[in-house]
Amino acid sequence: MAENDQGKRRIRVLIAKPGLDGHDVGAKLVCRALMDAGMEVVYTGLRQSPAAIAKAALEEGVQVVGLSILSGAHLPLCRKVKDELDSAGVADNVILLVGGNVPERDHAELKSMGVSAVFPTSTPFSNIVDHIRAEVSR
């Protein structure tokens, strides 16, 4: 594991685009912001299956899995990713985040299925960075 300037283990984050959504500019901007904040980032690319996301999380040893979903299918996709993380045995060891077009009315349901935080489009990157740092330090 890479270390930061203080000799501490760097936070490892996986950013994934599940489902058929083909727009990834926002996900790439989040990746850049996290890297600028000193985190190691693995970007899986577009159109990833929940199983592929869970496999990557396991293989990469990440502490955070961030899903970027603009398609409106955030509830079923998050449920499937969470199930796959459970099956891979990593659900208890990773912080699951969701960003994108996620209406406020769905935030509570996402959190009830294990999502740590929801970041709608236009969320300041500093909010995402601060949340990840706070959750990982717990």
Q: Any idea where the domains of the chain sit in the sequence?
A: 18-137
How far, in whole angstroms, is CA 76 from its chain's centroid? 16
Residue 21: predicted pLDDT:
84
CA dist 118 to 12, 89, 108, Å? 19, 23, 9
Which tops the pLDDT comparison, 4 or 83?
83
- φ/ψ of 66, rounded to 5, equals -110, 125
- Give the model confidence (pLDDT) of 29-59 as tens digits: 999 999 999 999 999 999 999 999 999 999 9
DSSP label at residue 124: -
Q: How confident is the model at residue 88 (pLDDT cuts 50, 70, 90)?
A: very high
Give the number of C-alpha atoms closer than 13 A to the C-alpha of residue 110, restricted to the C-beta side. Answer: 28
- Give the model confidence (pLDDT) of 7-16 as tens digits: 578 999 999 9
d(CA 82, CA 74): 12
**What's the mean pLDDT when you consider all of the chain?**
94
* pLDDT beyond 90 at 1: no
Describe the crossing of helices 50-60 and 74-88 by its angle, rounded to 10 degrees: 40
Residue 9: predicted pLDDT:
84
Give the domain 18-137 fold.
Rossmann fold (3.40.50)
Do the strands 40-43 and 12-16 form a parallel or antiparallel pair, or are they unpaired? Answer: parallel
- φ/ψ of 21, rounded to 5, equals -55, 130
Sheet holding 95-100, edge to edge: 40-43, 12-16, 64-69, 95-100, 115-120
